[in-house]
């Protein structure tokens, strides 16, 4: 068996899973068809639950350091034009203010961590770097899943590499 777990997809979810498994000593291989993380505006924030998961994994400070400063408000504006007033303004506190609100609440109703403004094109390379630093994690960009077969004890994945060669991964 090449790996214990095969993860298909190197976005934030796949990379987070690889880091979590890798920190637990589970041998895993992550494949991603793109050759590198993309500079595309897909997401702009990590919610509180995601930040709690990053906290449990020991990477929350790295994620916060890569995101926007903690004093930046997270307000959302719905607009039709920059020349007109917003149709809707949804005020959200900054991370600093949210932390103060969390600290002041002792009834268990608040999350352990506030959200964080961080774009996917900033988060993904950070998570990739962390995953690549774990001995039990193999990260293969430029590797596309073509098909797989499964029996009662294993999976064999047929992959195509960016250079056009075919390969197989047994998990």
pLDDT digits (tens, 9 = 90+) for 59-88: 999 999 999 999 999 899 999 999 999 999
pLDDT digits (tens, 9 = 90+) for 127-143: 999 999 999 999 999 99
25: left (phi over 0), alpha (psi -120 to 50) or beta: left
Residues in the chain: 171
User: What's the pTM?
Assistant: 0.90
Mean pLDDT across 81-97: 95
Q: What is the pLDDT of residue 40?
A: 76
pLDDT digits (tens, 9 = 90+) for 14-50: 999 999 999 999 999 999 999 988 887 788 899 999 9
137 sits in which H/E element: strand 137-141
Calpha distance 86→39 (Å, rounded): 28
Structural domain spans, the chain:
1-43+119-171
Identify the CATH homologous superfamily for domain 1-43+119-171: FAD/NAD(P)-binding domain (3.50.50.60)
């Amino acid at each position: 068996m090449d790996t214990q777990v095969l993860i298909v997809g190197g976005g934030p979810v796949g990379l987070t899973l690889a880091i979590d498994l890798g920190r637990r000593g589970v041998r895993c291989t992550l494949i991603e068809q793109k050759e590198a993380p993309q500079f595309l505006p897909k997401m702009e924030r990590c919610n509180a639950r995601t930040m709690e998961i990053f906290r449990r994994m020991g990477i929350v400070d790295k994620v916060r350091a890569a995101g926007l400063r903690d004093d930046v408000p997270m307000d959302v504006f719905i607009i039709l034009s920059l020349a007109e007033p917003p149709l809707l303004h949804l005020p959200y506190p900054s991370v600093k203010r949210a932390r103060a609100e969390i600290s002041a609440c002792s009834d268990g109703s608040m999350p352990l961590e506030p959200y964080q403004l961080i774009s996917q094109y900033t988060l993904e390379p950070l998570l990739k770097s962390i995953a690549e630093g774990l001995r039990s994690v193999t990260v293969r960009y430029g590797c596309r899943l073509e098909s797989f077969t499964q029996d009662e004890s294993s999976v064999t994945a047929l992959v195509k590499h960016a250079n056009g060669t075919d390969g197989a991964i047994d998990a």
